[in-house]
Structure 1
Amino acid sequence: MGLSDMIRALARPLYTLLLFTKSDIKTTVIPVTSLAAAGAPLAAPGRIIHVIFWIWLHVLQFDVSNQTMDPEEDAQNKRDRPLPAGRITLANALLLRWLLVPICFSISVLYSTQTFHASVALVALTIIYNELAAHRMHWAIRNAVNALGFASFEVGATLVAGTDPTRLDSVGMHSVLISAGIFASTIHAQDFKDTEGDRAIGRQTIPIMLPAYARLTVIIPLFLWSSGLSVFWQLNPMLGLLFIALCGWRSIGTMFGCLQLMRSRHTIEHLFSIAQHCSCEIISNSSSLHTPRLRAHTYLQWS
C-alpha cells in the first residue's frame, strides 16, 4: 500500500471523528482553549496544541455518547452527523464511545493526577447527562450538570496549559469558578432555539415553564456578570464598557427574538464568543520576577 493509499484510508475515519465534534468546535474547544491559555499561565506557545487536543478528545468522548442516545432524532434534524449519514454503524459508535473512556484517562494521567481527576469528572458527568438522561430532567439539574461539565473541561485544560500541571493558581481557580457560575445561571439561553421540540418530548425548560419571564432570566444575569466581572478583574473603563456593550448586543437579540439573524453573522458571532468567554489583561505575576501574564476574564458564550 502506497503513502497516498494510506492517507486515503485514514482520511475517512478521521473525518468521521471530526464530524462527531463539528458543532462543538466553536462552542467548547475554542472558548475553553482561550480560557486555559489566559488563566494557566501558558507554559509555552506550543502547549496550545496539547490543550486543544485534550479538550477535543474529551469533547469527542461526550459527543459520541450523546449522538448514540437518539440517532433517529438526528436522522431527521442533523443528517450530516456520522450516524445518520451512514459513516459509522450504531454498534461501532457504541464501541468507540466506551473505548474513548480509557483513552481519555490514559492521555490525562500523562500530565498529572489532577488532570486525570478532571478527565474522570468529565466522563462521569457525560454518563449523568447522556446515559442517565439528565438532559431530559428539570432545567435546574441540566444547568448544574452543564456548569460542572464546563468547569471540568476548564480545570483539565488549564492544568494541561500551565507550567505546573498539578495545581491551579488563584487566577486560574477564580476563572473556572466564575465560568461555572455563568454557565449555571445562563446556559439555558440555548433552550430558546428549540422550544417546540423540547415541548414535544416533555422537556422542562425555562422558555416553556416561564415564557413571560424566560428572556429576562438570561438578560439580567448577563448584565450582572458583565458589570461585576469588569470590576472584579479591574478592567480599565473602556474595556469594561466594551464587554458590557457586547452583553447589550446579545441581550437585544434575545429580547426581540433576533437570534436567527445573529447566528447568520457567524463570523462576528464566533469572534464575540471568544472575546466574551475570555478577555485578557496583562498583570504582574506574584513571582519575584514579576513576569507579565494574562488574567482570564470569563464571560458567557452562546452556542
Structure 2
Amino acid sequence: MFLFQILKQHALTLFLFTKSDIKTTLIPITILALCAAPVHHPSYIPETMFWIWLHLLQFDVSNQTLDPEEDALNKRDRPVPSGRITLRDAVILRWTLVPICWALSAAYSLQVFYSSVALSVLTGIYNELHAHAGHWLVRNMVNAAGFASFEFGSTLVARYDRSHLDKAGYLSVLFSAGIFFTTIQAQDFKDTEGDLAIGRQTLPIVFPSFSRKTVLPGMMGWSFLLTYMWQVDVWTGSVFIGLAQITGLRFLVFNSRASDQVSFYVYNVWLTMAHALPGYWRYYHKAM
C-alpha cells in the first residue's frame, strides 16, 4: 500500500509537468498521427499516445528547469515551484529521459529513433540554448521543426509498418509543420506580459499590431489549401473555413489577455480539425 502511494505521487508529478500541454500538444498530435498513419490495430492508439507524452515530458521538464523563479510567481502548481520535486532532481530527470526516449523509439524502428534524437536536439536548442528567447523567426523555425519531429515519429508508431510513411503521411506532417511555422504566434498573444518580463522576442512583442493581422490570412490560406488537398465535402469545408475566420477575427478584434486565451482555445479546435482531415480523406475517399 505504501509503495502504491509513492508510485501514485510520482505519477502525478510527471503528469503535472505536462498538464498544460495536454490540449495544445498531446491531443492534436495524437489525432494527426492516428489519422495520417492509418491505425491498423486498436493497441497502437495507447502506444502512440504514450510515445508522444513521454517526449512531451522530456521537453516540459527541460523547459521547467530553466527559470523556476518565474514559475514560482506565475505557475505555482508546477512540480518544481510547488515543491513536489527539487530542482536538482528535476534536472536529473530531464537528462535521464533522453536515453529512455531513445531506447523506446529504437524498439520500434531506426526511423522512429531518428525522430526521437531530432526531438532531443531541438529541445536542447529551444530550451538550454535559449532559442525560445531569441529572434521570433528562429523560434518559429525551431518550433515547427520540433512539431514535425513529434508528428513524424508518432505517425510511424501508429503505423503497421513503422519504417516509413506513405505519401499521405508525409503530406500530413509537412502541412502541419507549415501551419505551426506560420500561425504559432496564436499561442504567444496570451503570454506577451510574461514573455516581455524575461526578454523573449516573440512576433506579438516585436510587431504587436502587425502580428494580429497575420493570423487570419494564415489560417484562411491553410484552410482553403487543406480543404482542396484532402477533398473535403462542402459542409465540412465550410465549418473548417468558418472556424478559421472566426478565430482570426477574434485575434483582430479582441486583444485582452483573457480574450487571447479564449481565442487560443478556439485556434486549437481548428488545429485539431486540420490534423483530422487526412483521416477524412483516407477513410472516406479511399473507401469509395
Q: Would the aligned equivalents of 1:139 and 1:188 in 2 still touch at CA under 8 Å?
A: no
Match of 1:179 in 2: 176
- 1:257, distance to aligned residue in structure 2 (A): 1.6
Partner of 2:249: 252
State which of 211, 224, 236 in structure 2 corresponds to 1:239: 236
In structure 2, the partner of 1:144 is 141
Paired with 1:212 and 1:262, the residues of 2 have a C-alpha distance of 14
Kindly state the Cα deviation for residue 249 of structure 1 after the two structures are TM-superposed.
Answer: 1.7
Give the equivalent residue in structure 1 for 2:118: 121
Aligned match of 1:299 = none
Partner of 2:51: 54
State the one-letter code of the partner of 1:281. Y
Cα distance in structure 1, aligned partners of 2:94 and 2:63:
9
State the 1:46 CA deviation: 1.6
Letter in 1 for 2:25: T
Summarize deviations over 1:257-281 as a string: whole Å, max 9, x none: 2662474699977655532432331
Which residue in the other structure is 2:280 paired with?
281
Cα distance in 1 between the residues matched to 2:33 and 2:226: 18
TM-score by length of 2: 0.93
Residue correspondence of structure 1 range 89-238 to structure 2 within 5 A? 89-238=86-235
Q: Identity over the aligned pairs, expressed in percent? A: 51
Instruction: Go from structure 1 to structure 2 and tell me whether the alpha carbon gap of 1:250 and 1:264 turns closer, same or farther (over 3 Å shift).
Output: closer
Change in 2 beyond 3 A, CA 1:86/1:98: same
What's the secondary structure of 1:88's corresponding residue? coil
How many residues are aligned here?
A: 286
The answer (yes or no) to whether the contact 2:189–2:260 under 8 Å persists in 1 is no
Per-residue displacement from partner, 1:62-99 (whole Å, max 9, x unpaired)?
Answer: 00000000000000000000000000001100100000
Contact 1:263–1:269 under 8 Å retained in 2 = no
Alpha-carbon distance in 2 for matches of 1:72, 1:284: 48
| Rounded Cα–Cα distance in structure 2 between residues aligned with 1:157 and 1:94 | 25
1:197: how far off?
2.6
- 1:211-233: per-residue Cα shift (whole Å, max 9, x none)? 23111111111111111111111
In structure 2, C-alpha distance between the alignment counterparts of 1:270 and 1:89, rounded to whole Å: 32
Equivalent-residue separation in structure 2 for 1:51 and 1:9 (angstroms): 27
- Structure 2: unaligned runs, 5 residues or longer: none
Q: Which residue of 1 aligns with 2:11?
A: 14
Q: Which amino acid aligns with 1:222?
A: M
Q: Which runs of 4+ in 1 moved over 6 A?
A: 265-270
Return the letter of the residue paired with 1:245. G
Determine if the alignment matches structure 1 residue 81 to structure 2 residue 78.
yes
Shift of residue 159 of structure 1?
0.3
Distance 1:139 1:126, change over 3 A: same
- Looking at structure 1, the residues matched to 186 and 266 of structure 2 have their Cα atoms a distance apart, in angstroms, of 19
Of 29, 39, 61, the match for 1:32:
29
The TM-score, its normalising length taken from structure 1, stands at: 0.88
56, 63, 66: which one aligns with 1:66: 63
Corresponding letter in the other structure for 2:179: I
Larger helix share, 1 or 2: 2
Secondary structure in 1 matching 2:280 = strand
- Contact kept, 8 Å, 1:222 with 1:247, in 2: the verdict is yes
2:41 to 34, 40, 44: 44
> Distance in 2 between the 1:66 and 1:175 partners?
27
The question of whether the paired residues in 1 share the 8 Å contact of 2:54 and 2:101 is answered with: yes
